[in-house]
Amino acid sequence: MKSERTFLVLWTLAVTAATAAFVLDLSLRVRSVELGYELGRTHAHIARLREVKRVLELELSSHKTPERVEFVARTLLGMSEPTPDRILPAGALPADPEGVPSVAASASAPAAPPEDQDP
């Protein structure tokens, strides 16, 4: 009788250990599958973020172009080219080393409006 009881206890322990090992193995496999799905979702999210970054970089570069700046200035801010009467000289024309105003500077400088003279 004693040997039957010992066998039953050992057999129960073996079955319990095998069941515990099976459940542990199953839970580890389920966890690895869950992590695989999560990794796939994370990779997809990273790909979407990279695409958004690329689109934003393209948009940023398009906003830096002179045409875009002029478009925003004219449409959103209501700006326009100044008329000649609104252009004021900023100071004396630069002179070359001999003290004579340079031809290139005077050619590129805006013409001053004529002063009113009494006839």
C-alpha to C-alpha distance for 79 and 75, rounded to whole angstroms: 7
Model pLDDT for residues 1-53, shown as the tens digit of each residue: 788 899 999 999 999 999 999 999 999 999 999 999 999 999 999 999 999 99
The angle formed by the CA atoms of residues 58, 63 and 110, to the nearest 5 degrees, is: 145
Long-range contacts made by residues 83-92, C-beta under 8 angstroms, separation at least 24? 84/110, 84/111, 84/113, 85/113
In the chain, where are the structural domains located?
Answer: 2-81
pLDDT at 111: 53
pLDDT at 99: 59
Torsion angle of the four alpha carbons 54, 59, 64, 70, in this order, in degrees rounded to the nearest 10:
170
Q: How large is the average pLDDT for residues 64-84?
A: 89
Residue 111 in contact with residue 84, Cβ under 8 Å?
yes
Phi/psi of residue 101, nearest 5 degrees: -60, 140
